[in-house]
């Protein structure tokens, strides 16, 4: 993503964040922009290690996900794709 931003700026931001949260880019917005109210879409990307798919008792360090497990996981994730109405999780304004 070309943000036109110096990579050092992104690095400085990430130094202030916990390790599980990373900034990959940024965009300049107007002074009155409100990310909650003015944003018309959001995209979330989740990353986790494949050893999270192990079953109880499996050795984590040497675990390699099989194509079958990966396919079952992909099918499960499909249940979460699409547009969702999260109005009930807002302050109802």
Q: Which helix (H) or strand (E) holds 33?
A: none
- pLDDT at residue 80 greater than cutoff 90: no
pLDDT of residue 1: 44
End-to-end CA distance of the chain: 33
pLDDT of residue 93: 62
Stated pTM of the model: 0.47
pLDDT of residue 92: 64
Q: Please count the CA atoms within 13 angstroms of the CA of 62 that sit on its side-chain side.
A: 3
From CA 81, how far away is CA 79, in angstroms rounded? 6
Percentage of the chain surpassing pLDDT 90?
29
Q: What is the dihedral of CA 53, 54, 60, 62, to 10 degrees?
A: -90
Instruction: Encode pLDDT of 22-60 as tens digits.
Output: 888 888 888 888 888 887 777 777 788 888 899 888 898
From CA 92, how far away is CA 27, in angstroms rounded? 28
């Amino acid at each position: 993503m070309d943000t036109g931003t110096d990579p050092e700026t992104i690095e400085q931001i990430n130094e202030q964040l916990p390790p599980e949260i990373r900034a990959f880019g940024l965009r300049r917005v107007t002074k009155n922009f409100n990310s909650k109210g003015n944003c018309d879409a959001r995209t979330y990307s989740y990353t986790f290690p494949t050893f999270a798919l192990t079953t109880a008792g499996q050795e984590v360090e040497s675990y390699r996900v099989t194509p079958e497990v990966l396919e079952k996981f992909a099918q499960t994730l499909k249940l979460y794709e699409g547009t969702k109405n999260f109005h009930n999780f807002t302050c109802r304004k």
